[in-house]
């Protein structure tokens, strides 16, 4: 799919335009970012949209006007954009990678280029190492330290891709393999099947009587940039989106064993193989073999665990964190599923930084079968997101009331806000309006860098907000953004203890935050608290992120009775009404 490449180009053009000083520049920046977000979150390949209806179809997408539609058409036809190439010549530094470093925006990147000749990441490293950055006006030692930390983060995540990008690409390839008629069975394995938040590569397994032909089909897919290796039963390619993908064609009698082998983490597989050996078996990717070397459990994955006296466990649990012991005792819990989700308690509309109206967000939620959503726009201190003040919320809620009447129970829109938790722990709106809201989502957005604040400060900030008795859900509790910003220092056990006391749910944010993550869920789940799996949707397409939040919850071993938005509306109202 070209969605990722085109959205990145649009984002980069927006950054370049942000450096311009002509009168309409800021409007163009907003337009390009809006279009980029639309294409980035589009659930179908942009080329298919274009093939169905040309530029007219492109212009039906939110935020895509005539000029941007023309740029997309040009790229789809030629693989290039004249406007993008022109901007790169005007600003000859690596905007995309430099601005991906925490603490370094487009204007600062331009300053570094002009003052220090920084064109790329290597140049930036040298400038940081020689402390030239701290000496520049507008930077200083703290800024240099933040950028240095951002570089370290970027390096640590190198070679890995967000699951929200990798899994749809793998699924698109699997669907093409299915439709090819060359495979009897095909599925995704590896860390993507375990729903890890990032993946280093992708594994696809198939059963086929025409293995060499399948390999030729796979390596010739338009998603493939280059072929790394190709044999009669296995091929490895490098995808255009920037990740390696392996396809293995297997015999039916080995498929289940291969699925088990290529799904579990290394430590999980070691534990399972150790149990097999103790029972007199040999387990590998080809099957489960008895002492006579007979394959007694290779066809189905479930049969392998059964033969070893174990309960089958969901792929998300297979990380050697106690699931093997539970499986031996047949105590694997029934984890929350997508079908359990009744609604989304963290969404935004165009009144602040969202792309869609509340009517559009509601219609999309109805289409998903949701029973409720909470509309939670940003509050006034978050100026960058056009946060609303008290008067703005009052007027907005009048429209929500009318829409609820029009929906006639098909969907209930809960009135709320993503209220900013200020530096002193106070909330960003008057308590009287917060008391009237159905769902108050408290969130920390400012002064997050570890060089600025400490663990005690951030913990106290969250605790004070929860102790107001006005917060229903604590949003993205550690403040992280994967690959961009690490979690800030915070004592999550203290936070969970206070959340339990105040009946506050902790959020599992299903966007590129994945916050709480699986390990932090397991850390806090010993407390009697609920969790809200939320998409933080800024447009209708973002609802599709819910599956990743559910995947993260499953990795944290959560059952549906621990999930706030798996509750029916009447029970939800009772739970969040306990104040």
Q: What is the radius of gyration, based on Cα positions, of the chain?
A: 25
Whole-prediction pTM: 0.82
Give the residues across from 377 on adjacent strands. 417
Phi (first) and psi of residue 241, to 5 degrees: -75, -10
CATH class of 255-328: alpha beta
pLDDT digit string, tens, across residues 295-344: 998 899 999 999 999 999 999 999 999 999 999 999 999 999 999 999 99
Residue 96, pLDDT score: 85
Do the strands 372-378 and 412-420 form a parallel or antiparallel pair, or are they unpaired? Answer: parallel
Lowest-pLDDT choice from 18-32, 73-87, 280-294, 541-555 = 18-32
Residues 6 or more apart whose Cβ sits within 8 Å of residue 90: 16
Phi, psi dihedrals of residue 440, rounded to the nearest 5°: -100, 120
Residue-level length of the chain: 579
Average pLDDT, the chain: 92
In the predicted structure, residue 549 carries a pLDDT above the cut 80: yes
Neighbours of 477 (CB within 10 A): 28
Q: Are 353 and 378 in contact (CB under 8 A)?
A: yes
Protein fold of 338-576: TIM Barrel (3.20.20)
Round to whole Å and give the CA distance between 324 and 269: 10
Instruction: Measure the CA–CA gap between 226 and 219, rounded to whole angstroms.
Output: 8
Top pLDDT among 576 and 379 is at 379
Q: How is the chain split among helix, strand and coil, in percent rounded to 5? A: 50, 15, 35
Alpha helices in 308-357 (DSSP H): 323-328
- Per-residue pLDDT band at 406 (split at 50, 70, 90): very high
Average pLDDT for 30-39 = 87
pLDDT (0 to 100) of residue 339: 97
Residue whose C-alpha is closest to residue 506's, from 489, 528, 484 = 528
With CA atoms as reference, report the closest residue to 471 among 507, 446, 439, 493: 439
Is the separation of the CB atoms in 557 and 317 below 8 Å?
Answer: yes
Q: Tokens 């930077």 label which residue?
A: 139
Q: Quick one: pLDDT band at residue 451, thresholds 50, 70, 90?
A: very low
Find, among 542, 361, 567, 532, the residue nearest to 441 by Cα. Answer: 532
Phi/psi for 238 (5° steps) reads: -110, 120
Region 105-127: mean pLDDT is 92
Cis peptide before 127 (omega within 30 of 0): no
Nearest to 41 by CA among 350, 356, 483, 481: 356
CA distances 292 to 231, 273, 281, 296, Å, are 31, 17, 9, 10
Could you tell me which of 444, 494, 442 has the C-alpha nearest to residue 469? 442
Mean of pLDDT values over 459-485 = 92
**Six-digit token string for 423:** 């530096």
Q: Assign domain 3-91 to a CATH class.
A: mainly alpha
Q: Write down the pLDDT at residue 159.
A: 66
- What are the Cα distances from residue 356, in Å, to 4, 37, 108, 553? 21, 12, 31, 27
453 confidence band (pLDDT: 50, 70, 90): low
With beta carbons less than 8 A apart as the criterion, state whether 183 and 217 touch. no
Could you give the CA distance from residue 576 to residue 579 in angstroms, rounded to a whole number? 8
* pLDDT band at residue 450 under the 50/70/90 scheme: very low
All structural domains of the chain with their residue ranges:
3-91, 161-250, 255-328, 338-576
Q: Which tokens belong to 52?
A: 């169905």
Q: What is the DSSP letter of 199?
A: E
The answer to which of 196-210, 300-314, 371-385, 554-568 has the lowest mean pLDDT is 371-385
Burial of 577 (0-12, 13-18, 19+ CB in 10 A): exposed
Query: ∠337-170-250 over CA atoms, to 5°?
Result: 100
The percent of residues in the chain predicted with pLDDT above 90, rounded, is 74
Q: Which fold has domain 161-250?
A: Beta Polymerase; domain 2 (3.30.460)
Centroid of chain to Cα 237: 24
Q: What is the DSSP string of 462-507?
A: HHHHHHTT--SEE-STT--BTTTBPPPP--HHHHHHHHHHHTPEEE
Tell me the pLDDT tens digit for each residue of 333-391.
Answer: 999 999 999 999 999 999 998 888 999 999 999 999 999 999 999 999 888 778 899 99
421: nearest Cα among 382, 376, 452, 377: 382
**Which single residue is written with the structure tokens 């798996």?**
566
pLDDT at residue 154 greater than cutoff 80: no
Question: What whole-number distance in Å separates Cα of residue 211 and Cα of residue 406?
Answer: 56
């Amino acid at each position: 799919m070209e969605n990722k490449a085109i959205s990145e180009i649009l984002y980069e053009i927006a950054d370049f335009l942000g450096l311009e000083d002509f009168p309409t520049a800021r409007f163009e920046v907003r337009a390009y970012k809006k279009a980029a977000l639309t294409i980035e979150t589009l659930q179908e390949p942009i080329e298919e949209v274009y093939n169905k209806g040309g530029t007219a179809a492109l212009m039906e997408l939110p935020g895509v006007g005539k000029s941007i539609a023309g740029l997309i058409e040009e790229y789809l036809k030629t693989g290039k954009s004249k406007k993008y190439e022109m901007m790169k010549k005007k600003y000859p530094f690596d905007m995309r990678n430099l601005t991906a470093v925490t603490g370094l925006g487009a204007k600062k990147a331009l300053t570094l280029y002009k003052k220090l000749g920084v064109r790329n990441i290597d140049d930036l490293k040298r400038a940081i190492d020689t402390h030239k950055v701290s000496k520049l006006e507008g930077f200083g030692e703290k800024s240099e330290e933040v950028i240095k930390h951002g570089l370290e983060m970027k390096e640590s995540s190198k070679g890995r891709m967000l699951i929200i990008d990798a899994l749809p690409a793998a699924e698109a390839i699997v669907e093409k393999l299915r439709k090819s008629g060359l495979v009897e069975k095909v599925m995704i394995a590896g860390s993507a099947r375990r729903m890890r938040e990032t993946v280093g590569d992708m594994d696809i397994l198939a059963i086929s009587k025409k293995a060499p032909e399948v390999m030729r089909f796979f390596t010739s897919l338009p998603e493939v940039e280059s072929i790394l290796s190709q044999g009669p039963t296995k091929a490895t390619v490098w995808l255009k989106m920037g990740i390696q993908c392996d396809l293995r064609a297997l015999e039916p009698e080995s498929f289940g064993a291969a699925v088990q082998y290529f799904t579990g983490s290394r430590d999980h597989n070691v534990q399972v193989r150790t149990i097999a050996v103790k029972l007199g078996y040999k387990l590998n990717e080809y099957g489960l073999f008895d002492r006579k070397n007979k394959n007694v459990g290779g066809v189905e994955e479930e049969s392998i665990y059964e033969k070893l006296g174990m309960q089958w466990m969901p792929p998300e649990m297979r990380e050697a964190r106690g699931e093997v012991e539970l499986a031996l005792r047949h105590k694997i819990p029934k984890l929350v599923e997508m079908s359990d989700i009744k609604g989304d308690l963290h969404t935004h509309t165009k009144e602040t930084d969202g792309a869609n109206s509340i009517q559009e967000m509601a219609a999309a939620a109805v289409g998903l079968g949701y029973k409720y959503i909470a509309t939670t726009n940003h509050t006034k201190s978050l100026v960058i997101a056009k946060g609303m003040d008290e008067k703005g919320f009052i007027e907005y809620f009048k429209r929500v009331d009318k829409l609820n009447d029009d929906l006639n129970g098909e969907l209930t829109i809960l009135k709320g806000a993503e209220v900013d938790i200020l530096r002193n722990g106070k909330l960003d709106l008057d308590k009287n309006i917060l008391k009237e809201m159905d769902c108050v989502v408290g969130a920390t957005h400012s002064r997050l860098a570890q060089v600025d604040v400490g663990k005690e400060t951030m913990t106290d900030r969250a605790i004070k907000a929860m102790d107001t008795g006005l917060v229903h859900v604590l949003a993205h509790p550690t403040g992280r953004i994967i690959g961009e910003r690490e979690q800030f220092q915070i004592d999550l056990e203290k936070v969970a203890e206070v959340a339990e006391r105040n009946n506050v749910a902790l959020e599992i944010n299903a966007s590129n935050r994945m916050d709480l993550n699986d390990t932090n869920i397991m850390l806090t789940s010993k407390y009697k608290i609920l969790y809200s799996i939320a998409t933080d949707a800024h447009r209708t397409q973002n609802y599709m992120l819910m599956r990743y939040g559910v995947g993260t919850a499953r990795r944290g071993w959560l059952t549906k009775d621990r999930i706030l938005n798996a509750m029916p509306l009447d029970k939800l109202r009772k739970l969040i009404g306990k104040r």
